[in-house]
Structure formats: structure tokens, C-alpha cells
Amino acid sequence: MTDARKQPGEVEPFSRKEVYNKCLCFESLCRERNLYKTKINCYMMRFLIYVYTFSMIITAAAASAENPAQPCKLCGHDVPAPVSSQPDTTVHYPQEKHLKNIRQLTNGGDFAEAYFSFDDSLIAFQAKSAKWGTKCDHIYYFPFSDGHMKDHIPGLISEGLGRTTCSFFMPGDTSILYASTRSGGSECPPEPERRADGKYLWPIYPDFDIYVANLKGQLIDTLVKSPGYDAEATVSPKGDLIVFTSDRSGDLELYTCKIDGSDVKQITFDLGYDGGAFFSPDGTKLVFRSSRPKTPEEIKEYKDLLKEGLVAPTNMEIYVCNVDGSDLRQITSLGKANWAPFFHPSGEKILFSSNHAGARGFEFNLYMINLDGSGLERITWDPVFDAFPMFSYDGKKLIFSSNRNNGGTRDTNLFIADWVE
């Protein structure tokens, strides 16, 4: 332990607030790593620290109300500040300096992948909500002039058939593309069975194809269809190209096509799951997340799972390339799951979701990084989940999904904020 008495070359003694925060962080570390069951040291340290700081706690707690305890680093890991036993009602954390005027749009369900229309007046998103009568994800759209969707159901685009994902406005904002399993039946396809090893897996449903519907939910076109998985489509800001993920080659690769679905071209070729691609603001680059297995064991596991129509999204990094697949570059090397990337309005930075700093594996937050991999900056601070960021086309707003303010449930809701540079 560090002697709190000042010696030459040593740090200043901790303030009362610092001791209080370190006490909270140590408590969190012991709890996260289950050390209470394995080492008596945690009991002793907990007791000594709390006794030592007992006379300070009231004062320190009052101070921390003005400046809440920050996550601290112990043993090289970010340890989140302890979460209250009361349901969390936080909408905006004080550390989120790039966000202001955060507004919650949904309540009571799983809402994700919300994307702006070209004129920034609408959003398309996927939702699974018992209140809305959906058993699996379906596509809706919503005009901002309506305020929020906490007490009403917005327009359904996907007709409630099969399972859907990855919607995006087409040029003109009168139609929306999305992926659906409707060709395989009107019911929701089954979720993957829980594995004995507890590994988290994503299903790659072979019935996913890419459709276009108008804002009344009427199907206009089957845009991309092949045997196997076709999904995760987004549209270039220039309105000329679409990028999507397909396993038509035997692996999950990126493809582009013209806005009418013609001229399909494969643009990635390395083994691994390439997906979740978005265009840069000028339409010349793509950002995406990828799992790229390297070792023989990783390669075997990836191929074996893919044969079962599954992928393990637990080890992914962020990549950038030109729209033709050239100049492919890995941007992050953080470990764990780095995904849901989106270009900053400048085109020189990327926002993405990552759990690389979490001790438990599911603390996902939004981060920002330069295109050369430098300048990593944390953007959001929810202790559980922030993901799926998208900027409005004018660069003034950010929409994202989060588990904040969910009353202690597992609900994931949509939030929109003004972006502050």
C-alpha cells in the first residue's frame, strides 16, 4: 500500500473525496472479480478503508453529487463506478461533453439501429416490443415533429412478416430498404439455442434478403436476393450505391451494388465476418467491423460456426476501405468487440461501440477515433450499453441506442442528442 505521508518523490496524500472514490472503485473491483469468495484480503481491505473513511463519507458524498465518482483504473482495467441499487434514471452523464439536450424517444422494449432520412426529418429503426405486439425485430419509421414514441406506435414498414433488420432510407425519403426473412415464412425464425460453453452467438439466417417498401409499408421491390444471407444494407450519401453483407461466396463479405440492385460487386475477400458497413460523408470510403480469425483454432471455430449459420461477435475490430475495396486498413486494435462504426461528419474520425475497457465484457460505450488510429476518446458513459451511433446528414445531431434510464430492466431505447465538437 502507498504511504499517505508525503515523502520526496511521492504523490500528495489523497483528498477525502479521492479516498472515497478509491474506496468505491476497490469495492467494485472485488465484486466484479468475485474476490470476496476467494480472498480474505478483500474483506479486510474493505473493512479498513470504510472505517478509515467513515467520518468523511457524508462530506465526500455531498461533493460527489456535484462531481460524480469517475471510473478508475485498477490492475489495468477500467472499473465502472458502482451502480446504485435503485433503478437508474440517468439520461445524460456529466462526462458526455460532446452531447447536449439528450432526448429519449422510446420506452419499453428493444429499439436499435435508428438511421436518419436524407432530409433529417425522419428516422427508420428496428423494434421488438411487447407493447407494440412484436415477437421479433420489425421496421418502423418516425417523424421528429411527433416528439417521441413513448405513448404511441409509429408507422410499421415491414408488415410484421418474418424477422427484419438493418433499415435505411432510399434517396428521396419516400421508401426504405430493409432485410427480412419473409421468404422463409411469416413467423419469427428461432433464436440460437444457448450453448453449454455460454458463448454469445449471432444467427445468420439464410432467408434474409433485401427489400424496399414505401412509407405505407407496401412492398415495392426485392432489391437483393440470393441463396443465403443478404442483409446489413446502407445507402451512399451520394444516392448512387448500396453496400451490404452476403455469404454468397461461402464467407461473410461486403458487396456493393447500384441503387437499383444491379451491378453487384464483391469488395472484401479475407476470411472473417465483414459487416455493418457505412459510407463516408463524401461517399468515397466505407467503414465496417470485422472478425478476422488468425490462428488455426480461430479459423476452425469460425468455419464450424458458419456452417451452422452462426457467428461469434466477441472479437471484432474496425476497418476502413475505399468503396471499391482498395486501401483496406485496420483502424482499431483494442481487443474484444469493437463494432457499430459510423463516420464523423468531417469524414476524418469514426464513432463506434466497444467493450474493450470493460471488466465484465458487456459494458459497451461509444468511442471516437481518428482515421489513422490515433486520438481514441470515450464519448458515452452508461455502465451497461451504448451503441449504434448515427449522425444526421447536417452533422448537428447524433442518434444512438442505450440501456440508460430503463428502470433497471433490460430495455434498450433510442436517444437523440445535439452534437458538440
CB neighbour list of residue 136: distance below 8 Å, 6 or more residues apart:
128, 163, 188, 189
Structural domain ending residue among the three candidates 79, 114, 130: 79
Tell me: pLDDT of 35 over 50. Answer: no
Tell me: pLDDT of 75 over 80. Answer: no
142 and 26, same structural domain? no
Q: Which of 13-17, 130-134, 155-159, 215-219 has the lowest mean pLDDT?
A: 13-17
CB neighbour list of residue 66: distance below 8 Å, 6 or more residues apart:
none
391 and 286, same structural domain? yes
Q: Which of 36-40, 71-75, 87-91, 277-281 has the lowest mean pLDDT?
A: 71-75
Tell me: pLDDT of 64 over 90. Answer: no
Counting Cα atoms < 13 Å in the Cβ hemisphere of 285 gives 21
Q: How far apart are CA 254 and CA 290, in angstroms?
A: 10
The reply to whether 90 falls in a domain is no
Structural domain ending residue among the three candidates 27, 46, 79: 79
The structural domain count of the chain equals 2
What's the rounded mean pLDDT across residues 3-20?
Answer: 33
105 and 37, same structural domain? no
What's the rounded mean pLDDT across residues 183-194?
Answer: 92
Q: What secondary structure does DSSP assign to 348-393, as a single string?
A: SEEEEEE-TT-SSS--BEEEEEETTS---EE----SSBEEEEEE-T
Of residues 301 and 7, the one with the higher pLDDT is 301
Q: What is the pLDDT of residue 257?
A: 98
The reply to whether 275 falls in a domain is yes
Confidence of residue 290 (pLDDT cuts 50, 70, 90): very high
374 and 230, same structural domain? yes
The reply to whether 8 falls in a domain is no
User: SS3 for 72?
Assistant: strand
The reply to whether 84 falls in a domain is no
304 and 387, same structural domain? yes
The reply to whether 323 falls in a domain is yes
Of residues 123 and 14, the one with the higher pLDDT is 123
Tell me: pLDDT of 331 over 60. Answer: yes
155 and 25, same structural domain? no
20 and 157, same structural domain? no
Q: How far apart are CA 403 and CA 365, in angstroms?
A: 11
The reply to whether 88 falls in a domain is no
208: phi then psi, degrees, rounded to nearest 5: -65, 125
Tell me: pLDDT of 360 over 90. Answer: no
Q: What is the pLDDT of residue 198?
A: 81
| Domain region containing 35 | 16-79
| % of the chain surpassing 90 pLDDT | 72
129 and 62, same structural domain? no
Tell me: pLDDT of 98 over 90. Answer: yes
What's the rounded mean pLDDT across residues 2-11?
Answer: 30
What's the rounded mean pLDDT across residues 324-339?
Answer: 97
For 177, the grid coordinates are: 430498404
Q: How far apart are CA 113 and CA 167, in angstroms?
A: 8
The reply to whether 228 falls in a domain is yes
Confidence of residue 260 (pLDDT cuts 50, 70, 90): very high
Of residues 39 and 90, the one with the higher pLDDT is 90
52 and 187, same structural domain? no
113 and 73, same structural domain? no
Q: What is the pLDDT of residue 284?
A: 98
Q: What is the 3-state secondary structure (H, E, C) of 160-189?
A: CCCCEEEEEECCCCCEEEEEECHHHCCCCC
Confidence of residue 133 (pLDDT cuts 50, 70, 90): very high
266 and 351, same structural domain? yes
Structural domain ending residue among the three candidates 44, 79, 114: 79
What's the rounded mean pLDDT across residues 163-177?
Answer: 97
Tell me: pLDDT of 20 over 50. Answer: no
Tell me: pLDDT of 19 over 70. Answer: no
Q: Which of 74-88, 264-278, 339-353 has the lowest mean pLDDT?
A: 74-88
Residue range 193-208, pLDDT digits in tens? 888 888 889 999 999 9
Tell me: pLDDT of 32 over 70. Answer: no
Q: Which of 19-23, 210-214, 241-245 has the lowest mean pLDDT?
A: 19-23
405 and 260, same structural domain? yes
Q: What is the CATH number for 375?
A: 2.120.10.30
What's the rounded mean pLDDT across residues 35-39?
Answer: 40
Confidence of residue 87 (pLDDT cuts 50, 70, 90): low
CB 259 within 8 A of CB 241: yes
Of residues 20 and 156, the one with the higher pLDDT is 156
Average pLDDT taken over every residue of the chain = 84
Tell me: pLDDT of 142 over 70. Answer: yes
The reply to whether 1 falls in a domain is no
Residue range 343-357, pLDDT digits in tens? 999 999 999 999 999
Of residues 216 and 70, the one with the higher pLDDT is 216
Tell me: pLDDT of 24 over 70. Answer: no
| This model's pTM is above 0.85 | no
